[in-house]
Structure 1
């Protein structure tokens, strides 16, 4: 059975990601954990003062989210009775990434699913959006579903590497637990100005893992502006159904001084994308 963590904030992009997941894992045995992380700072002192003496902190802050999750899970149970799905709700008011890490550890999560609404602001450019923070800080595959994307069967996958990452079977095995490599045709895109010395060996391993010869290979300079837009073009040409991106660790300082491209990819992607951490 797969253990899938879906981050749920009840927004349209989150609801769409849930719908996508229900279709994507159809026919498989899955336990879905729905995690809602309450922003405690949204509750003012007045909210807490006006709460009755009998109400605990849980009642005051989490009860509304608990009700919404219960309603959501009841709907999913009724809608997907034909599937081998089970559901559990999780509530937390911890630091966002800490709450996700804890859920991944406690429930042996195979994959995190998040919806993306393609929006950003100044704070997110400095500290990263929820999506980028989870990708950078949580050691688990993160599956980003673009807002309004409607599920389509997976036939073509694009592996995205950069100058600092290589294809290794043990890292991509995490993605193979999510997609069926036996029925998926793969292409490779490298974000690098030059080809790595190990390219032949790398491509040989990819061909072996996917049982596919003459795999299409493309590269873009890591200095290319608007990497997300360029990825859109490649996806369109190759008729990609899913992107698989291997990421590398980046420091807070380097994020400010130099765009790593991950944020841009998330904001611009039009296809579901799995991010794998080194």
Structure 2
């Protein structure tokens, strides 16, 4: 008898009830999987030694005073008792990219959720800071625009770039999302004017000749645009999408993380969640 693998998800929190809204999206992506969710609270390191020594007490204070937040956590644990094996808050001192990367790698995280805010929150920019830092991590990241209504990811658009021969076509996360009959995938191929036909044929063959895709409800949509993001914007303006997806093979060299920067910007502009697999 095989033991089911528990998927580990990191979600940033500023210890407000509003920051818990991202949890439902993590469960959507890991449909049918049991999840261990870590709510990561970043605590910037102070400049002075006395303030540094007081950090453990500050952590204890936050745990005690946030009664409303803790009650909300209990409600979520009860509501998602099957989907969530554990839901805990972890405090991380420091807000640098290496600190976050080390945490993600050490914990073996499978997915990171990032809020994408239309405007910066002047009262507490913890979530905004986390999103900027998370662009430099290597695991899949799901960018969620603020005030996005909760819905199932049924209409999925997988973006393919003819200029990137290492673009992923299928990934376990995508296959998991499409495990059922209530979804439809559009493979969006963005190509520049004057693109060599061999490049276009290479991408199209990856779709049409893939055996796994023969069992999936899908189609191909071609858009000619000067840049990658422009093609995505054009598509989203005309067609409805519940989720945008893009991916790149981990083993290949290149600017993998630039795709995450693009995804964050696209999610903010289109108001559509964007899953980036790297």
Please confirm whether the aligned pair reaches a TM-score higher than 0.5, indicating the same fold.
Answer: yes
- The alpha-carbon deviation at position 64 of structure 1 amounts to 4.4
Q: How does 1:128-277 map to 2 (within 5 A)?
A: 130-135=130-135, 137-166=136-165, 168-169=167-168, 172-176=170-174, 179-180=177-178, 183=181, 184-194=183-193, 195=195, 197-207=198-208, 208=210, 209-211=212-214, 212=216, 215-223=219-227, 227=229, 231-235=232-236, 237-246=238-247, 249=255, 261-262=262-263, 264-277=265-278
Q: CA RMSD in A?
A: 3.7
Question: How many Å separate the matches in 2 of 1:178 and 1:263?
Answer: 23
- Which residue is 1:17 aligned to? 22
In structure 2, do the counterparts of structure 1 residues 246 and 48 end up closer, same or farther at CA, with 3 Å as the change threshold?
same
> Could you give the per-residue CA deviations for residues 195-252 of structure 1, whole angstroms, max 9, x where no partner exists?
452332322323424325872222242448xx47x6455235332111002366279x
Whether the 8 Å CA contact 1:141–1:174 is kept in 2: the answer is: no
TM-score, scaled relative to structure 2: 0.72
**Aligned pair 1:85/2:85, yes or no?**
yes
Whether the 8 Å CA contact 1:119–1:267 is kept in 2: the answer is: no
- The alpha-carbon deviation at position 23 of structure 1 amounts to 5.2
- The alpha-carbon deviation at position 262 of structure 1 amounts to 4.5
TM-score, scaled relative to structure 1: 0.72
Q: Secondary structure at the match of 1:6?
A: strand
Whether the 8 Å CA contact 1:157–1:240 is kept in 2: the answer is: yes
Whether the 8 Å CA contact 1:157–1:186 is kept in 2: the answer is: yes
Instruction: Give aligned pairs, total.
Output: 251
Q: How does 1:1-12 map to 2 (within 5 A)?
A: 1-10=6-15
> Could you give the per-residue CA deviations for residues 163-204 of structure 1, whole angstroms, max 9, x where no partner exists?
5424655x7425336522564422233444144523323223
In structure 2, do the counterparts of structure 1 residues 177 and 159 end up closer, same or farther at CA, with 3 Å as the change threshold?
closer
- The alpha-carbon deviation at position 59 of structure 1 amounts to 1.4
Question: How many Å separate the matches in 2 of 1:267 and 1:244?
Answer: 14
Whether the 8 Å CA contact 2:43–2:95 is kept in 1: the answer is: no
Question: How many Å separate the matches in 2 of 1:161 and 1:199?
Answer: 10
Q: Secondary structure at the match of 2:271?
A: coil
Question: How many Å separate the matches in 2 of 1:30 and 1:237?
Answer: 35
